[in-house]
Amino acid sequence: MKMLSIRRLNYSLVEPAAWFLVWFSLPFSLKLNSVSVILLLVTILVSFIRNPFIPDRRKVWYLCFPVILFLWHAKELLFAHPFMQVWKETEKMLPFLVIPALFVLSRTSKESFTKSAMNGLVSALVISGIIMLTAAAVRFGYSGNYNEFIYHDLAKPFTTGAIYFSLFLLFVLFKLDDPDWMENKPGLKVALAAYFLILLLLFASKLMIGLGLPLLVWHYRRLIPVVWKNNKIWLVLLTVLTVIGSVPFVKRVQILSHPNLELVRSNSFKNDPELNGLNLRLIFWRFGKEILEENHSWMSGVGMKQSQGLLNQKFVQYDMYTGTRKGTDTGFLNYNFHNQFVETLVSVGLSGLLILILILCTFADHAGQGIFAPKVFTLVIVGFFFTESVLERQAGIVFFCLVYAACFIRNNSTSNANGRN
C-alpha cells in the first residue's frame, strides 16, 4: 500500500516537470522544445487514460478556436501537390492542435501550472542572459565594439532572436506580481525585475520597450506608490536604470526620424538608400495587397505553399536586394511579411483572418480572469502581431498557444472535482 502511494506521488510530479521543461526549452532550442511538448503530450495522455474525466465544456469551447484555425490551414492538404511541401507548411501550425489538447486533457491546477511555467521560463531567461552577456563580453574584448551588447548581436548564441527574447522578458516582468509564484520572496522578485529590465533594454526592441514599458507602469500603478513608501531606494535605482539603459533604444528610434515613406510607393528599390524597419514592413504589406489583387484571392488566400514564393517574386520584380546567391547571402528572399495579420490574410484569406481575430478577441476577453496572462499584456500580443509574423516561428506560435490556452485552465477546486469523476 505504501509503495502504491509512493508511485502515485511520483507520477503526480511528472506532469509539472514536463510543463517546466516545455517553458524552459522555449528560449533555448526549437528541437528540445518540440521533444518537450511530445513528452508532455504522452504524460497527459497516459494520465487521462488511467483516470479519465469529462473535460470542462466551456474550456473545450474556447480552446476549439485554435483547432479550427489549424484545420482551416490544413484544408490545403486535400488538394496538395506535392503533398510533402504543403505538409511542411501545415506542420508549423500543429501547436494550434496539440497545445489546446494538452490543456483540455490535463489535470494540472492553475497554481501548479503557474509555478512550473514561471520556474521554467525564468530559469531559462536567467541562464540564457548570463550566456549572452558573457559571449558579448568576450566578443567585445576582441572587437571593442559596444554593439556586441545590443539587439541581434547580443542574441547571437541562440537562434531565437532578440525580438522573441524581448517578448519572453516582457511577459515575465508582467508576471512577477503573480500571487501563485514566489509570493514570499519579494527581494528576489525585485532582483529578477532589475536583471530582466537590463536585458530588455539591451535588446532594444522598439515595440517591446515603446509599448511594453508604459503598459508595465500601468500594470504596476497601484504597487509603485507602495514601493515608494516602503523602499524609495529600489524605485529610484530602477528608474535610473531604465533611463540609462534606454540609450540603445533611443538610438534605434532615431533611425525613424526620417522615415522616407515616399519610398514605399517606388517602382524599383535598386538604387534606394538602405531601408529601415518601418520602410520594409510597409513595402512588404504593399506586396501582400498586390499579391491578393493579382490572384483574386481575398476570400481564400493564395495558400501557404504559394505565399512565400509569390512574395519572393515581388522582391525580384521591384529590384530589391536578393544577395549574391552564394552561400547564405540571399538578401530579402524568404523574408516573411512581418505582420501576422497580413501573413494570414495572404495565406488563407479573409475567412482565416477572421478566425485569428476571433482567437485574439477571446484572449483579450478572458486574459486576467485566470491571473496567468495579465489583461494588459493582450495589447503587447496584438502589437507584436502587427510588426512580426509571429506564427511563422515555433517560438512565437508555441508561446502564443501556451499563453492563450492557460487563460482557461481550471483552478484547484475544479481540478479536484474532475479528478474524482
Per-residue pLDDT reduced to its tens digit, 222-238: 887 776 676 777 677 77
In a domain, 247, yes or no: no
In a domain, 274, yes or no: yes
Compute the chain's Rg from CA coordinates. Answer: 23
- By residue range, what is the domain housing residue 318? 57-106+262-421
Neighbouring residues of 232: CB distance < 8 A, sequence distance ≥ 6? none
In a domain, 27, yes or no: no
In a domain, 31, yes or no: no
The pLDDT assigned to 370 comes to 61
The pLDDT assigned to 10 comes to 55
Positions in the chain short of pLDDT 70: 1-12, 227-228, 230, 234, 244-245, 252-259, 271-273, 325-327, 369-371, 410-421
pTM for the complete prediction? 0.89
Q: What is d(CA 404, CA 182) in angstroms, rounded to the nearest whole number?
A: 23
In a domain, 88, yes or no: yes
In a domain, 196, yes or no: no
The pLDDT assigned to 421 comes to 37
In a domain, 21, yes or no: no
Q: Which three cell numbers stand for residue 336?
A: 516573411
DSSP string, 58-91: HHHHHHHHHHHHHHHHHGGGGG-SSHHHHHHHHH
| Domain tally, the chain | 1
The pLDDT assigned to 225 comes to 79
Q: What angle do CA 126, 378, 418 make, to 5 degrees?
A: 85
The pLDDT assigned to 273 comes to 59
The pLDDT assigned to 188 comes to 86
In a domain, 22, yes or no: no
The pLDDT assigned to 224 comes to 75
DSSP string, 328-384: T--TTTT---S-HHHHHHHHHHHHHHHHHHHHHHHHHHHTTTTSSS-TTHHHHHHHH
Per-residue pLDDT reduced to its tens digit, 46-102: 989 998 988 888 888 999 999 999 999 988 888 777 777 788 888 889 999 999 999
The pLDDT assigned to 34 comes to 93
